[in-house]
Amino acid sequence: MATTVPERLFALYSLLVSQERPMTRARIRESIDAYRSASSDAAFERTFERDKSALRRLGMRLQTNTLRGEPVYSLDRNRLWLSEETFSPSDKLTLGVAARLWSDPHYARDVDRAVRRLGYRDENSTEPHNRWSPALNGGGDHLDLVLEALAQGTELRFNYRRVDSFDALPRIMRPWGVGQRFGHWYVGGWDSDRKAFRTFRLSRMSAITQSWTTLPAADPEFSMARVLAGITESQSPAVKLTFPTHAWPMVMDWVEDGTALRGMDALSEIPSSMEQGQVGSASITVDVPDIQELIRCLAELGGAVTVEVSNDAGFSSAEINDRVEAQARHAVELQDEVSSAYTSGAVQIEAPRRERHREASERRFVRLVDLASFLGSHQGCTTGEIAKHLDIPPSQINKDLMALANAGSELLGSAYMMVDAHDDVVRVELPRELDQPLSLAPDQTIRLVLALHLLGEISPGHREQTRGIADKLAKTVTLASVESDQLSVHLESITTEHLSILREAADEGRHVGILYRSRSQSSATWRTVRPTKVYADGPTWYVSAADAKDGLERTYRVASIRAIERETPPVPGVPAESTAAHGGDNESPQDTTAHMWVDASCPELSALMNGTQLGQARISRADGSSIEGQLIEVRVRSWFSLYRMMLHHAGRMALWQPQLWAPEWRRELYRRRILQNPCDPSDRPGQPTHS
């Protein structure tokens, strides 16, 4: 039976860690059967290089020296195994809570296993932060690469799009720190071209690769927290928006989201014409943190918003108008293509693919090391005891024991390691060096430190404790030295204050008054609610709360809460509107459902829709190519909100059933007094025609 990657890694690790002296390449190849049986010298070299890279990614210092003109290899045992750094029961509980703050299930599971290796167990625990739910978005493969470069001290080569540009240019940077603010990940480091420190937003980085570097490492006094604190709206170009006053609520939505526009002060006063129910126009000056995101937002309102930019901006008003029209056109074209495929049958539909959480080979290798360590110090234990210690099913334990036995067979006919499992009792013979568990992998440690920083932000009373734990953890990172100050998560002070009050109310089961603006509503009203849960979906924070008037539980966006009173609100409350999927228009008297096609390359959109997966649909095109997407069923509380979402994400989602929704969308804009004419796509705001 062929050796698996985890088994081969374990065999290599066991061989190197049990040797007092460095080993030559030839001796390593001769000692491990998978290397000996390689089809050629080149095949062995490729496999050996991959295995060395895998061990380095896990934080192992694989040293290479020269002996009699030949390279020799050994493992540096400094910080190879879990340190003697002790964590108190309170520390371990805090680590357990922090591990759950990652929203990506893959990272959440991985980091949770890491804290278990540090001794955290959640049996009969009463968590002081049990009202928190995941808040840190995963960041995708790009964040993985950045964290790996930070841990290994390598440089990143990538293409970067400036905030005021539509084009990306090549850049080279050695990361000094990573952090999150405004719901976005930022990377700070030494820029090779500028020969100075620069900060980059991860979402505008693309085509990222790693390589070894001679660029300088972080200064001893470097602080990512100070870098994030200095990222303000002033770095973004300012634009002047002019729009019908009845578009005011939608513009407020964009500013509250903070992705396309920033500048809440510009929306402090509602136009008098809107308060009086009259039609007019309004102008505001706001900052644009991302020009591409501004295009997506403007497309939602069908050209009802005009944009004026300064002469020194990296874009023009005409360019913005052209791209807004192209965005809307792209959404309609995709809808036509999907509808045509549905009608003609030019589509292949498959059953929903079961999401497989395949365990990475490197993570399984670490578990094999943990298993060997536990077996070495618990001779005669049962599979049930092992399963409880590692928190995995007994069936997986049997597979891991077999993997250990196979790895032992790799090493010169089991001379180094033997596994005997009989009548559910397990005994082993291992080198004494395998009795110790490995240190946490660098990326696991860094993710834990980031989660601890977030926990300190949303729970200020525990900030000193989380900082102390983060400092302990950062000291365990091998390879390049990483300090806790190189990692940070920054929440705005008003958000931190509101989250703290809401969490306290949830813990104590008491009511608070919130001044809240529902999505697409022009003004905020006071309501009395009893918070039950505070959580985040990506960068957006929410609170679930029971309304004091009718007892129904509703969801409120924390960013839309203008003020909070710990007791009865100072203004009489009004019945709270039921919010759509985290807030939205509620024009429909009754929820309905719709089937959506979502581009398969955008799984985050399917998650955002919070729908039920129905299957996979591949659409055949006339040129012989095809596009693949997910079919999902979603609840629709507002068709207008759904149309806005399809325009915002143009070219990536469409209704599955044939439907010409564009005319209905324009009629709704006309009904809301945002467009002058529901039929003419070229109209622009001017003198309103509504009476």
CATH number of the domain residue 548 falls in: 2.30.30.100
Question: How many alpha carbons fall within 13 Å on the CB side of residue 534?
Answer: 27
Answer yes or no: is 241 within a domain.
yes
- CA Rg, the chain, in Å? 29
Locus of tokens 């298993």: 371
pLDDT (tens digit per residue) in 457-513: 888 878 888 999 998 888 777 656 788 999 999 888 888 899 989 988 998 899 999
Answer yes or no: is 15 within a domain.
no
Report the range out of 133-142, 330-339, 433-442, 563-572 with the highest average pLDDT.
330-339
Locus of tokens 């980085």: 205
Q: State the pTM of this model.
A: 0.79
Domain boundary among the residues 304, 329, 354 is at: 329
User: Do 254 and 319 lie in a common domain?
Assistant: yes
User: Do 624 and 546 lie in a common domain?
Assistant: no
Answer yes or no: is 605 within a domain.
yes
User: Do 525 and 597 lie in a common domain?
Assistant: no
Residue 415 DSSP symbol: T
User: Do 256 and 316 lie in a common domain?
Assistant: yes
Q: What is the pLDDT of residue 29?
A: 92
Handedness of CA 432, 437, 438, 439 (dihedral sign): negative
Answer yes or no: is 532 within a domain.
yes
Domain count of the fold of the chain? 3
Answer yes or no: is 513 within a domain.
yes
User: Do 252 and 321 lie in a common domain?
Assistant: yes
Q: What is the pLDDT of residue 124?
A: 47
Answer yes or no: is 239 within a domain.
yes
Report the range out of 247-251, 295-299, 677-681 with the highest average pLDDT.
295-299
Q: Which two tokens stand for residue 77?
A: 């045992």
Per the structure, the complete domain to which residue 638 belongs is given by 587-659
Average the pLDDT over 537-554 and give the result.
86
Q: Which two tokens stand for residue 637?
A: 């509380």
Answer yes or no: is 547 within a domain.
yes
User: Do 283 and 325 lie in a common domain?
Assistant: yes
User: Do 257 and 311 lie in a common domain?
Assistant: yes
Report the range out of 2-16, 96-110, 268-282, 584-598 with the highest average pLDDT.
2-16
Answer yes or no: is 686 within a domain.
no
Instruction: Assign residue 257 the CATH number of its domain.
Output: 3.30.70
User: Do 613 and 650 lie in a common domain?
Assistant: yes
Angle at 292 between CA 286 and CA 295, to 5 degrees: 70
Domain boundary among the residues 301, 329, 357 is at: 329
